[in-house]
A and B are shown apart, each in its own frame.
Chain A
């Protein structure tokens, strides 16, 4: 028949010490370090046996207790001189225990208050508050303009032949055309015509990918100075010309 012992959970070494002190029914100020150290180490031992992981703080306290005990056993060499420099470690521990006890008790009082006051229920704010921070359109934009822009966008998408109605799945396809293809294509084109317009070079492109590739090819050819561009007025069609360098 296994012997079951229920071990109290301790919040920390100070909590454990307070428990031991209250068990031996002495005032904190009157503790016997020898006794308390013994009991403390015994408890740690028990915790170990029950496979409870002992936090490092408990071990630090064990060391502190042993230190105090040794201080008591070994008589001080020059009592009057040293008392000024080093505070009594036992007194220090007692002060800490008293201080900790205050807050432990305050915590218990808070618990009572919490239990009582958690019985208060509040009402959620009326929902009209949630609309308070709705986005405001910039002053020079009106709904008609936005509507028009949206229609144009949808139309141009239809032109591109996209038949899917919603953004359900997106298929990633291998690029069927490369920039190099397009560069060759454009070079061919401009070997026949020395001048063209921006929109007309996209006329053969039906898919989004093709448009992008042609555009990138155009940028490339501009970079290597094969082509040059010119625009006569804002938003006008861009005229693309072949540079007459060496060929």
Chain B
């Protein structure tokens, strides 16, 4: 099977899946090792860009998914005929920023940085699947440690947590 054919196979799989597909899974189907899959996917993604397609390959933590290009979201909105749903509140974004940059982090840490209680916001973020409990701290009370999810990365256009823009220090 040549490369173009493999890309076609992956494309059809990503279409059927809709959800992100793991690099390992693609490797299993095409009989490739993960490193080769990553190479193939990089090339495929570049092809999409080069051909200026309406779709792109979104890669998050070694998974791949088909999505539309945000540049054309206005036209999609026109097609759906619906306003986009409101984004997160300022407080949620601030809390999310603390978690993203300091994870794993406890509620107490978040609250001491923000200077306000965060119970409600943490629940909202948990419910929206943007953060998760990653572990518990080995101190009295065993407080929950929070971290961000793959959905967080996807929602903010990051392929891994290392891609977060560095915190600005004056």
Interface 1/0 per residue, A50-90 and B, CB below 8 Å: 00000101000100000000000000000000000000000
A interface vs B, CB < 8 Å? 11-15, 55, 57, 61, 96, 98-100, 102-111, 113-126
Within 8 Å by CB of A123, from B18, B69, B84, B85, lies B18
Q: Is the CB of B16 within 8 A of A103?
A: no
Of chain A, the residue at the smallest CB distance from B168 is A105
Q: Is the CB of B18 within 8 A of A100?
A: no
C-alpha spacing A99/B155, complex, angstroms: 25
Q: Is the CB of A100 within 8 A of B115?
A: yes
Interface with A: B26-34, B39-47, B91-99, B137-145, which one? Answer: B91-99
Known A-B contacts A12-B115, A122-B65, A123-B18; the reply to A103 vs B168 at CB < 8 A is no
Q: 11 other contacts beyond A103-B97, A111-B87, A126-B18, with CB at 8 A cut-off?
A: A57-B115, A100-B113, A103-B94, A106-B101, A107-B95, A109-B97, A117-B154, A117-B155, A118-B84, A121-B67, A121-B68
B interface vs A, CB < 8 Å? 15-19, 56, 58, 65-73, 76, 84-85, 87-88, 90-91, 93-98, 100-101, 113-117, 154-157, 165, 167-170
Q: Is the CB of A119 within 8 A of B70?
A: yes
Chain B residues near A15: list those with CB within 8 A.
Answer: 115
Within 8 Å by CB of A107, from B68, B93, B115, lies B93
Chain A residues near B170: list those with CB within 8 A.
Answer: 98
C-alpha spacing A227/B141, complex, angstroms: 61
Max chain B C-beta neighbours (<10 A), residue from A12, A14, A121: A121
Within 8 Å by CB of B156, from A105, A113, A126, lies A113
Smallest CB separation, B71 vs chain A (Å): 8
Q: Is the CB of A100 within 8 A of B168?
A: no
Q: Is the CB of A57 within 8 A of B116?
A: yes
Within 8 Å by CB of A125, from B19, B117, B155, lies B19
Q: Is the CB of A11 within 8 A of B94?
A: yes
Within 8 Å by CB of B114, from A14, A117, A119, A122, lies A14
Smallest CB separation, A44 vs chain B (Å): 15
Q: Is the CB of B87 within 8 A of A115?
A: yes
10 contacts between A and B (CB under 8 A): A12-B114, A13-B115, A96-B113, A107-B95, A107-B97, A110-B156, A114-B155, A117-B156, A121-B73, A125-B17
C-alpha spacing A122/B156, complex, angstroms: 14
Known A-B contacts A114-B87, A120-B58; the reply to A103 vs B157 at CB < 8 A is no
C-alpha spacing A55/B66, complex, angstroms: 45
Q: Is the CB of B113 within 8 A of A103?
A: yes
Smallest CB separation, B131 vs chain A (Å): 13
Chain A residues near B70: list those with CB within 8 A.
Answer: 116-120
Q: Is the CB of A122 within 8 A of B66?
A: yes
Chain A residues near B71: list those with CB within 8 A.
Answer: 119
